[in-house]
Structure 1
Amino acid sequence: MTGLNCLVTGATGYIGGRLVPELLDAGHHVRCLARTPEKLRDHVWAGRAEVVRGDVTDAASVASALQGIHVAYYLVHALNAGSGFEERDRAAARLFAEQAEAAGVRRIVYLGGLAPADVPARELSPHLRSRAEVGEILLAGAVPAAVLRAAVIIGSGSASFEMLRYLTERLPVMVTPSWVSTRCQPIAVRDVLRYLVGCATLPAEVDRAFDIGGPDVLTYEEMMRRYAVIAELPHRLILRVPMLTPRLSSHWIGLVTPVPRALARPLAESLRHEVVCAEHDIARYVPDPPGAPIGVDQALDLALRRVREADVTTRWSSASLPGAPSDPLPTDPDWAGGSLYTDHRERDVNASPGALWRVVEGIGGTNGWYSFPLAWAVRGWLDRLVGGVGIRRGRRDAARLRVGDSLDFWRVEEIEPGRLLRLRAEMRLPGLAWLEMYVEPGPGGTGRSPAVSRFRQRALFHPHGLLGHLYWWSVSPFHAVVFGGMARNIARAAERLDTGGR
């Protein structure tokens, strides 16, 4: 079958932004409908997909976006839009169904929430109730619809997963609401995307909802314990307190995590319902490959893998080049992906980029770290006391570095000659740490003349558990001396070197 023309609404969201490249890779043509198309320009797939401006509440823009479309993905939901969001969701879904019929769309695909079948709609949380109603509206329309109903989606960037991450990472002892004992059937984001892509080619007569979930049914408390094991955190002590209502829970989550309270509240309210799949009929049409659906442990491992692989460039920069659904996207919220502390320094340097790079590449070993030698020596001694490598390793070559070289208690993780040196810490730390140094031509410079260089230095720390956070805050008062002095002295050394070479 030749590629289909697909419209993706909600492309700036968690699922939509990850679905687009999956559809493109499957050979389909993709058009994205976005209120702010500029938000999509930094995606690696931006040049392969068509992006149009519009809103699902505006009939004219929806009608225009649906022209020539075979499959329309409806991936919008007012999760934290305040009062009246149910009526807005209801009206938008009706409008979309009507315009899809008028445009001759062959199929609508919607990702909704898994709700318990034995609970009356009036007793569901507003979030789950609205999602269920949107699915019913789309199924009642003239265009065949596939409504996928999922519980907790496990993947870096998913709001449910991020709440799980922060609660488990930051609280070795947790006083939790009673909903942590409610059972659910989580699903890996990779499986969600696989089902969504597969729905594009469903037979025309398929017009129904499907429950989708992973192979494991467990409580939220068990997920937190599993997370702690996968993340190599100490055993978590979890104490349930029944009087914590969803409203109080959302305040508690907002205090402990960076997940906004307006988002945490509907999630907490939904977690009081048991959400377990009643069927797995989707496999008749989208067969499970070997190893799928993915279990909770593997899903958690995939969600955390980016941090352990220390791919700092794609994990925490604005120029993200994701290679897997669990990777971050430019449109992910700032609180997604776990905590990352940074210390950033930047200086204009009165030396050529070549001279500045020679100083950067020569750092460490007998050349030292250009900042508070006693502090570095003490840090090395402390590291050796706890079984670390200390600073005794020095460096392989006094002037040149290559990827994999040991450099005192660092390891060269990435090097772009003349531009970038990234070091990964191998000292004993309650987390992962990197030190990046960039050499760039300064404003208006050509890269060949003196006084046109810019030096950028960035220290990054990904804390491991509560101890990691405490470590960062205990040492951060000294960063101005250590890292500020390093940037300043590297610049001065480059200027002396450049002056001596002329």
Structure 2
Amino acid sequence: MNHNDSTPLRCLVTGATGYIGGRLVPELLADGHQVRCLARNPRKLRDHPWAGDVEVMQGDVTDADSVSQAMTDIDVAYYLVHALGTGKDFEATDRRAAQIFGEQAKAAGVRRVVYLGALTPTDVPEDELSPHLRSRAEVGRILLDCGVPTAVLRAAVIIGSGSASFEMLRYLTERLPVMVTPSWVHTRIQPIAVGDVLRLLVGCARLPEDVSRAFDIGGPDILTYREMMVRYARVAGLPPRVILPVPVLTPGLSSHWVGLVTPVPASIARPLTESLRHEVVCHEHAVRQYLPEPPGHPLSFDQAVRLALRRVREAKVATRWSSAAVPGAPSDPLPTDPDWAGGSLYTDSRQTPVHAPVSTLWRVIEGVGGDNGWYSFPLAWSLRGWLDRLVGGVGLRRGRRDAERLRVGDSLDFWRVEEIEPGRLLRLRAEMRLPGLAWLEMFAEPDGDEGGSRYCQRALFHPRGLLGQIYWWTVSPFHAIVFGGMARNIALAAARQADEAVVGEAAR
């Protein structure tokens, strides 16, 4: 296989429902390759925009028959699965799966295997590594010994929304302005942006046939975990963090501490925190000889964090009632990312049937604000507007440009119209002073064959730091009054207008 050959390759991607696999597939397609995905639950892939451009097979890497079928007519097989988080025997599961994958790749005549593993220290015997790192090293060794040319990319912390290591960093930094931390905050780490990882994974497909080895990959920065938290806070616009290391916190205790502070599951957080006691820094850069770095790469830690934060809020908020958001870059969230990925996004969702056609309901929705008010507890809205002006915000004084019609970019009291789908969706972004970002969405949906409709409403809040968390939980008890009343009254107003229209028509 000539690495300068541009002939499309047939690629098998395992772990396409996972963090890296789901982001690798569109990159391979963009490079002109044909892609087959092996997934235990193919239905998880259906919301991806590329789902119709790939072949999907159901199977499991621990089942030799399904792996054998998936390997048929494959040039490059990507091994992007691991059993981390599945239980205490994840090392045995990973070992068996890697052996099956390697054996079936050789039997099928696959020309290359590519595996994303983990950076490990060179001065620590393998049996003294954390179970997570030990298993990653063992899987890499098994695949290198399988008889098929194999490229093992070894990475430390991958920076991107959805990466478990990055999510731990995000939640710890955002939720704790003052932290009592384990001693591993002084461990040196060489993080790498997810976009750079994907670039190298795609490039490995065309490595020369005589290349079969492991490569260390990392970004340009070598930082302690403490430095990563400090720099994350700065990029995210958070106040400086106070970090107080406490040597007595063991890996086991610190994993419980991480579990209390973050929503990352303990089955994942524990092995990751145990691994943080090891320094993970690149000891060679041979991958550059085969896959030269393009201008501007690899990205710095700050650049990678900025990309991870850039669209996470918008991509998560853009999720419709009926379909998942479609991100546009490797750093953006995916429909298959776990619920705890992407930072906190709190929602207050309400739906109610409306005895009026969709067109009538939409007129009420498009008419909210200004002189028409917000259909709920006027005193509460007035008080919120007054408080906003007290702290330098715009309050309710702006009103609206037109009493009946809205367009994207219009100001609407202390909201801004962010998106309109005429007859269906109005999304408003809050411009009041808040410790975070907030949106209000209002939908008009058809409901049944009787000419009725359904009103759907979502208030969303993406908190900024600990103050944002406190703000949400302070005001959430009042949502039933404010947002519940709003949903009911908008439905009643639409029904009343529909009745008046019927009476008027009968009078004519």
- Give the TM interval when normalised to the shorter protein: over 0.9
User: Residue 412 of structure 1 is aligned with which of 413, 417, 424?
Assistant: 417
| Counterpart residue number, 1:53 | 58
Once the two structures are superposed, what CA deviation does each residue of 1:16-75 show, in whole Å capped at 9, x if it has no partner? 011011101110000011111111111111111111011111111111100000000001
Change (3 A) 1:316 1:231: farther
- Tell me the distance in 2 between the aligned counterparts of 1:187 and 1:398: 51
Three-state SS of the structure 2 residue aligned to 1:248 is: helix
User: Residue 130 of structure 2 is aligned with which of 125, 131, 138?
Assistant: 125
Contact 1:211 1:279 in 2 (8 A): yes
Change (3 A) 1:12 1:308: closer
| Counterpart residue number, 1:495 | 495
Three-state SS of the structure 2 residue aligned to 1:363 is: coil
Letter in 2 for 1:3: P
Contact 1:386 1:428 in 2 (8 A): yes
* Structure 1 range deviating more: 38-47 or 394-403: 38-47
| Counterpart residue number, 1:458 | 458
User: Residue 349 of structure 1 is aligned with which of 354, 360, 366?
Assistant: 354
Letter in 2 for 1:335: W
How far off is 1:246 after superposition? 1.0
Unaligned runs of 5+ in 1: none
* Aligned residue runs from structure 1 range 314-393, under 5 A: 314=319, 318-393=323-398
Change (3 A) 1:66 1:346: same
Aligned residue-pair number:
497
Unaligned runs of 5+ in 2: 1-5, 503-508
Three-state SS of the structure 2 residue aligned to 1:174 is: strand
Q: Does 1:476 align with 2:481?
A: no
* Aligned residue runs from structure 1 range 392-431, under 5 A: 392-431=397-436
Letter in 2 for 1:466: L
Contact 1:44 1:322 in 2 (8 A): no
Normalised to the residue count of structure 1, the TM-score between the two structures is 0.97
Q: Does 1:42 align with 2:42?
A: no
How far off is 1:309 after superposition? 5.0
Once the two structures are superposed, what CA deviation does each residue of 1:390-434 show, in whole Å capped at 9, x if it has no partner? 000000000000000000000000000000000000000000000
Contact 2:95 2:139 in 1 (8 A): yes
* Aligned residue runs from structure 1 range 11-22, under 5 A: 11-22=16-27
How far off is 1:482 after superposition? 0.4
- Tell me the distance in 2 between the aligned counterparts of 1:323 and 1:456: 26
| Counterpart residue number, 2:272 | 267
Contact 2:71 2:105 in 1 (8 A): yes
Three-state SS of the structure 1 residue aligned to 2:311 is: helix
Contact 1:318 1:330 in 2 (8 A): no
| Counterpart residue number, 1:24 | 29
How far off is 1:308 after superposition? 5.7
| Counterpart residue number, 1:208 | 213
How far off is 1:281 after superposition? 1.3
| Counterpart residue number, 1:296 | 301
Letter in 1 for 2:260: L
How far off is 1:83 after superposition? 2.2
Aligned identity (percent) is 75
| Counterpart residue number, 1:440 | 445
- Tell me the distance in 1 between the aligned counterparts of 2:194 and 2:300: 11
- Tell me the distance in 1 between the aligned counterparts of 2:320 and 2:123: 42
Q: Does 1:240 align with 2:245?
A: yes
How far off is 1:314 after superposition? 4.9
- Tell me the distance in 2 between the aligned counterparts of 1:457 and 1:169: 28
How far off is 1:312 after superposition? 1.8
| Counterpart residue number, 1:184 | 189
Contact 1:171 1:466 in 2 (8 A): yes
| Counterpart residue number, 1:68 | 73
Report runs of 4+ in structure 1 exceeding 3 Å deviation.
Answer: 307-311, 314-318
How far off is 1:318 after superposition? 4.6
| Counterpart residue number, 1:102 | 107
Letter in 1 for 2:376: S
Three-state SS of the structure 1 residue aligned to 2:161 is: coil
Letter in 1 for 2:469: H
Three-state SS of the structure 1 residue aligned to 2:152 is: strand
